[in-house]
Amino acid sequence: MTEAIPDSPAAAARLLTAHGYVPDEELGVAVYLALKLGRPLFLEGEAGVGKTELAKVLAQALKRELIRLPCYEGLDTATAVYEWDHLRQLLEIRLAEASGAHERESLTRSVFAPHFLIERPLLRALRPHPGGPPVLLIDELDRADEPFEALLLELLGEFQVTIPELGTIRAAEPPIVVITSNRTRDIHDALKRRCLYQWLDYPSAARELEILRQKEPGLDGRLQAEVVAFVQRLRREDLFKAPGIAETLDWARALAALNVHELGAEWIELTLGALLKYQDDVTRVRDAGVATLLSAARTGS
């Protein structure tokens, strides 16, 4: 049985928190408005700050199916919306020819019948679902080509798609749509106008500590605080890719697996690969002095 839509921003925040996602107040308001108004939610921000995770947790919290469309260069209608089952259509034509049925109009209707349609994520999200409208995650839209955005305008504005051979298919109940972008390129204004927009920044120290406590409750409390303080300090360095929440959690799990109870410069040196993903950043941190950064993190300087 599906969960009811939250009746306030605070209720939306509590629902997410109860399922392991700790939003700030602004994000709680954005999620509530997206659900209340039935508008797509466009989330933009650096990689690893929790954009994709929000959609996954939202589906879990509301007990809805999650339909995920990962975006990439070359993504098109056949992969994202629908395509025809050409082999079955060809077989239908051969059977019609064998039976002597050659009427063109009748044959066209038969081969473009709905049962020859292969539904891809966007079309599937418009169909009725037993558990209620699904959560549709259009993930990393900035990786797709710009023309793909045009395909989304009808769906995001009217919650419908048009198939030339069948007509317009409209959702009886609109899906809950979450779109993410890492901002590797600008998304067109026409698409953004159809959405509620929210920028996800790196979390504050207090929020990141709460996230770590939620995700890794077995980790020593002192180590949790030291991990967060060091990551927060590291984000102030001139790095190519500052660690996100995902990297904080990965690093904490790595330290736990190594049975580390107190953060030291040696352990940081040995586990930087769990925290930083570019060699230039690893070199830059080592050149700055891991012990110096750790001391600064502990003193809050």
Q: Is 292 found in the same domain as 219? A: yes
Within the chain, which residues score under 70 in pLDDT? 1, 100-109
In DSSP terms, 136 is beta-bridged to 67, 177
In a domain, 1, yes or no: no
Q: Is 132 found in the same domain as 57? A: yes
What tens digit of pLDDT does each residue of 239-257 get?
Answer: 999 999 999 999 999 999 9
Q: Is 226 found in the same domain as 141? A: no
Q: Is 291 found in the same domain as 222? A: yes
In DSSP terms, 178 is beta-bridged to 41, 137
Cα 80 from chain centroid? 16
Count: domains in the chain: 3
- pLDDT given at position 97: 73
Percent of the chain with pLDDT over 90: 83
List the CATH number of the domain containing 127: 3.40.50.300
pTM: 0.90
Domain boundary among 141, 173, 200: 200
What tens digit of pLDDT does each residue of 212-236 get?
Answer: 999 988 888 999 999 999 999 999 9
- pLDDT given at position 108: 66
10 Å Cβ neighbour count for 219? 18
Give the DSSP H/E element, type plus range, for residue 198. strand 196-200
Domain boundary among 165, 200, 235: 200
Q: Is 126 found in the same domain as 27? A: yes
Q: Is 263 found in the same domain as 132? A: no
- pLDDT given at position 174: 95
In a domain, 2, yes or no: no
Domain boundary among 177, 200, 223: 200
Give the three-class secondary structure for 277. coil
- pLDDT given at position 103: 65
- pLDDT given at position 263: 93
What range defines the domain where residue 126 resides? 9-80+120-200
Helices (H) and strands (E) in the chain, counts: 15, 9
- pLDDT given at position 101: 58
